[in-house]
Structure formats: C-alpha cells, structure tokens
Amino acid sequence: MTKRRLIKKIKDISDDTLEKEVFFQPGFEPEKIISGIKPEQQEKEMATLRERLTYYQKKETAFKKLQEENEQLKNQQETEKQALEEKNQSLLEILNQKEHEIFELEEQLETNSETTTEATTLQTNLQNAEKQLTTVHNQMERLESELTQQVAELEKESAEQQQHIQ
C-alpha cells in the first residue's frame, strides 16, 4: 500500500512540474528551500524515488503477467476437464448400451434355449458383449483415474501460482 502511494506521489510530481513550480519562480534561491534540504540532496532523493518507481513498476508488470498466466492456466484446466468429462460421458453411454445388449441377449438365451445351435450362438454373443463391457469398464476406470490425477495436478499448479503471486 505504501509502495503504491509512493509511486503515485512520484508520478504526480514530474521533473517538469518541479522545474516550473520551484526552480523558475522569480526570487527562488536554492539555499532557501522550504524543506531545508539542499538541491543536491533533493536530486539524490528524486533519483532514489525514480529508482524505486522503476523497481515497483517492474514488480507490478511481473505481477500482472503472473496473473494473466494464472488465468490462462485456469482456462486451460477447465477446457481439459470438460473434454475429459465429455469423453467419460460418452463411455458411460456406451457402457449402458452394452449392458442393455447383454440383458437382451440373456433374455433371448432364456427364451430360445430349445436349439443348441441358437444357444451356442447366443452364448458366444453374450461372451463377446461381456468382453466389450469389460473393455469399456477398464477404459472408464483408466479415464477416471487420469481425470482425477490431472485435476489434482492442475489444482496443485493453481495453488503454486496463487502462492507465487502472493
């Protein structure tokens, strides 16, 4: 807070303003400065204040850059999260479809068990559908694991960025 006030004061009082208001007034004598500080000392103080101003402006620029980077990371994280959620949703739909197919095949197997050939075919179809279901389950578990891991990493990065900004 003090830094910002200092920067504002320095910006408000520019070299031109000081020269116009102080040094070029009729009857101005450098030795009779209101503050009691000699011009050389004032110049040193002004140079120091300018250096501080430059330093704080650089800090402010770096801070704004970090804020922008943090915002970009948040947006990227959100986009990746949405993509993973959409993929998860599509796999869930496939899973539901396959479970429905298995249910239908089991019903067909029960009703059409008269013929051994039909039963064998249905049993094979059922086994294939169960294999596909297992594959989809495995893919879903892997994606959920990746999603959880990425969310944790992104939250960690975000926390580090927040800590770095502060």
Check whether 35 has a pLDDT greater than 70. no
30, 79, 159 from 67: Cα distances, Å: 46, 18, 13
Read off the pTM. Answer: 0.40
Q: What is the pLDDT of residues 81-112, one digit of tens each?
A: 899 889 889 988 998 998 998 899 888 877 76
Check whether 73 has a pLDDT greater than 60. yes
| Cβ neighbours around 113 below 10 Å, total | 12
Query: Where are the chain's structural domains?
Result: 1-64, 77-166
Q: What is the pLDDT of residues 132-158, one digit of tens each?
A: 889 988 988 888 888 889 888 888 888
pLDDT of residue 153: 87
pLDDT of residue 113: 60
Q: Maximum CA pair distance of the chain?
A: 122
Backbone angles phi, psi at 56, to 5 degrees: -70, -30
